Amino acid sequence: MHLDLKLGETRREMPEYKAFVGFNFEIQIRTIIQDSWSVLDHKIKYKKSIPNFLRRRINTLAALFELADREFKEIRLATEAEIEKAKSEETEDSHTLPEGQVGPTKLLKNGRLNAFGFLKIAKHFFKDYEFEDFKVDGFTEEIVAIEPEITRTDFNEYMKATISKVKQYQIYFESQGESKESLNPFTIIRHCLYLNDKEKYSSFLTNVSKEAFDKWLSENDG
């Protein structure tokens, strides 16, 4: 996209822009891939008076960049659509959590856990936390690597069954005078999954974290 512009009225009155008042200028807006092609295109010294087989290779390369740009846009739009779809899908599962916490009344229909399903459920339990995309992606991959058949309903059930206890531990952990650490939502989820199945999710916590958590559980089991 090419924009032909000139200084607006406000900037024309600013001393630092006086020298440019009479000029028009152009701004080029490109995607990352378009910019990459532009840079590479300038590196190709001869593009016109060259043998046909070289011209065809250049045209093929240009087409590949165009395809990549289009696919990247389509993937981005499809990802946004999946996130919106995750927000609107429902499940029959909606019962009360311990201590009056209400479980999600609108969750994804049951299916294999993926990043979109994880985000939908996690944001219910941690409404004010801003989950970073790449962390959600990597964390979900960790869970699925341990339990390949885990569904979205499974994950939701694990959270509902254990989060009350883990949040009690969080209060204890963060109240310790010698510790300035806090448990962020990802760490809380790690503890929830570990508490749900200590053998399966043993690797989700460090040995030090497991020992401290297990010790607290043994002292506060009732």
CB atoms within 10 A of CB 37: 19
- Indicate if the pLDDT at residue 106 is higher than 50: no
Give per-residue pLDDT as tens, 188-208: 999 999 999 999 999 999 999
What mean pLDDT is reported for the chain?
86
**Mean pLDDT across 38-58:** 85
160: exposed, middle or buried (Cβ count in 10 Å: 0-12, 13-18, 19+):
buried
**Mean pLDDT across 154-171:** 95
- Residues near 161 by Cβ (< 8 Å), separated by ≥ 6? 196
Give the Cα separation of 214 and 163 in Å (integer).
Answer: 15
Q: How sure is the predictor about 84, in pLDDT bands with cuts at 50, 70 and 90?
A: confident
- Residues near 160 by Cβ (< 8 Å), separated by ≥ 6? 95, 97, 103
| Cα angle for residues 29, 75, 67 (degrees, 5° grid) | 65
Whether the Cβ atoms of residue 163 and residue 125 lie closer than 8 Å to each other:
yes
Residues composing the chain: 222
Tell which residue, 111, 186, 194, has the closest CA to residue 146.
194
146: exposed, middle or buried (Cβ count in 10 Å: 0-12, 13-18, 19+):
middle
- Indicate if the pLDDT at residue 22 is higher than 90: no
Instruction: Write down the pLDDT at residue 47.
Output: 80
Q: How sure is the predictor about 176, in pLDDT bands with cuts at 50, 70 and 90?
A: confident
Q: How sure is the predictor about 222, in pLDDT bands with cuts at 50, 70 and 90?
A: low
**Mean pLDDT across 9-21:** 92
**Mean pLDDT across 81-97:** 60
Q: How sure is the predictor about 109, in pLDDT bands with cuts at 50, 70 and 90?
A: low
Helix residue spans in 89-128 (DSSP H): 115-125
Instruction: Write down the pLDDT at residue 178.
Output: 62
Region of poorest pLDDT, from 71-80, 86-95, 180-189 = 86-95
Residue 25 CB-half CA count within 13 A: 8
